[in-house]
Amino acid sequence: MYGGYSYIEQDYKPDKHDFVTLLWLKGDASLEALAEMVASESSVGTWTSLKTMNQFVWDKLRARVFDLKRVKTSVETAGFVKIAYPLEHFDHDNLPQLLASIRGNIYGIKEIKELEIIDWSIPEKYQRQFKGPLLGLEGARKYLGTSRNRRPHVGTIVKPKVGLSPAEFAEVAFQAWSNGLDLVKDDENLVDQDFCRWEERVSRTVDAAEKTGEKKIYLPNITDFIPRMLERVDYLEEIGWRMCMLDVYILGVPATKYLVDYLHERKFLVHAHRAGYGAETRGRQGVSFDFWMKLMRLIGVDQIHTGTGVGKMEGSPFLVRKVGKLATQSEIKGFEPLFLDFKWARHIKPLMPVASGGLNPGDVEAVCEVYGNTDVTIQSGGGIHGHPDGTAGGARAMRNAAERRVNRKVKVGPELETAINKWGLTDAGKIHQGFRDFEKNRKSTQQRIYKRGYKEIEKISGE
């Protein structure tokens, strides 16, 4: 009972039109009380009973807490719970309103010390209001001509992150492309600084891409206030370059959705950088990256950064494979309490996952093992421009590694050998074995998580 009402129905079976959130909760009251605070504050209630409450509100719009699983801790209460919300609770086609309910006030409730939305499911009827990716995974493959051989796409982020002039930037990009890379992108913090004005950089770099005589991806970062982003899209359209990058987490859901719709009306490929996501996905207060992944596929970005499992950014192979599946599969079999069963509406296309952050050519095999296949774009900044033979050597090594991944007859070239001598070869076999062990111990791992909570999850997540 919280605020005069009881929201708990332990054995509730969600309706196909319900949203379900899977939460981790920890705090200063019983798990039941903590969960009811969340259900109340995120749906129809508040701290006290209301004279204005009526049957329609209670019957049709309230949230329901179910499947509570208490975990043993020494002092506070903690555990996993699920909360179901009826579809009628939400506006049509309005993600900000949905977020204000399920990801809103609940994070400020004083008794709650830890609250993580680990996962959520979205009813098909709600998904049907969104278009999903326009080009997605297969669109990117078709553009680059890799639909048949299915090799991983390889690319680079020009480094230093900021500071090169437009001419220097375009030259580095040309070296990268002409030595085998598919993709070059601006860094997340490079847009329109005085030393590298956006328009001049884009015009020179697009010329460099065209000079290669091959289909290449160049992703200019257009992130800014909305009017300036629209001007940049218009410029790109004028010069016939239909692709760009958005820092989607920084922009937030409303601006991202607005831009993706605008770009897709103009048939652009949209690449999503996730800079900043860690502010709410790490630790036990916030949301998991899966939460964001589902939002972004619904909104329809065509490519998105999803982690590496082996590079410089957080995320174990297990977690990254899970996010990769959310990007590329139409249906996911759950492993509670880490993720729920989930099905995408049929029209929502797969999108291209992007592994980036601390990678080098010796990581290609391992990254493919993390993702479980080669449907991934592998990006490397330091691992290309830090190659002893420079950008050209790094690009050749990276392409060589990608070709070898789909055709074992391709020999290790001298640049790949140099890269491996400098950075080593990440052990893909060990990652493979890790997944096999996990499958073997699925049931017992699950039992341990329910017993000991996040201490066990951290062993899998690498946190």
Q: Which residue has the tokens 């699925």?
A: 442
Separation between Cα atoms, residue 108 and residue 130, nearest integer Å = 30
Residue 188 contacts Mg ion per CB under 5 A: yes
Q: 98 vs 323, which CB is nearer to ligand CAP? A: 323
Transcribe 205-228 into DSSP letters: HHHHHHHTTS--EEE-B--SSHHH
Supply 70's token pair: 């208490």
Q: Which does 372 bind (CB under 5 to 8 A by kind): Mg ion, ligand CAP, none?
A: none
Residue 375 contacts Mg ion per CB under 5 A: no
Residue 25 contacts ligand CAP per CB under 6 A: no
Supply 378's token pair: 């592998």
Residue of 240, 246, 243, 171 lying closest to 211 (CA atoms): 171
Phi, psi at residue 18, to the nearest 5°? -85, 145
Transcribe 347-403 into DSSP letters: T----EEEEESS--GGGHHHHHHHHTSS-SEEE-SHHHHTSTTHHHHHHHHHHHHHH
Strands 183-185 and 243-247: unpaired
Residue 416 contacts ligand CAP per CB under 6 A: no
159 carries an active-site annotation: yes
Tell me the closest approach of the beta carbon of residue 182 to ligand CAP, in angstroms: 15
Any bridge partners for residue 218, and if so which? 184
Q: 257, 273, 294, 305: which one is catalytic?
A: 273
Q: Are 203 and 239 spatial neighbours (Cβ–Cβ below 8 Å)? A: yes
Q: 18 vs 188, which CB is nearer to Mg ion? A: 188
Q: 98 vs 296, which CB is nearer to ligand CAP? A: 296
Residue 290 contacts ligand CAP per CB under 6 A: no
Q: Which span sits near ligand CAP by CB under 6 A: 40-48, 61-69, 173-181, 374-382? A: 374-382
Q: Which of 76, 138, 187, 336 binds Mg ion (CB under 5 A)?
A: 187
Any bridge partners for residue 420, and if so which? none
Q: Which of 157, 310, 366, 425 binds ligand CAP (CB under 6 A)?
A: 157
180-239: contacts with ligand CAP (CB under 6 A): 187-188
Q: In 266-306, which ranges are continuous DSSP H helix?
A: 278-281, 289-299
Residue 322 contacts ligand CAP per CB under 6 A: no
Residue 317 contacts ligand CAP per CB under 6 A: no
379-408: contacts with ligand CAP (CB under 6 A): 380-383
Tell me the closest approach of the beta carbon of residue 380 to ligand CAP, in angstroms: 5
Separation between Cα atoms, residue 5 and residue 410, nearest integer Å = 67
Tell me the closest approach of the beta carbon of residue 219 to Mg ion, in angstroms: 11
Residues that bind ligand CAP (CB under 6 A): 157, 159, 161, 187-188, 274, 305, 307, 312-313, 356-359, 380-383
Residues that bind Mg ion (CB under 5 A): 187-188
Q: Which residues are catalytic?
A: 159, 273
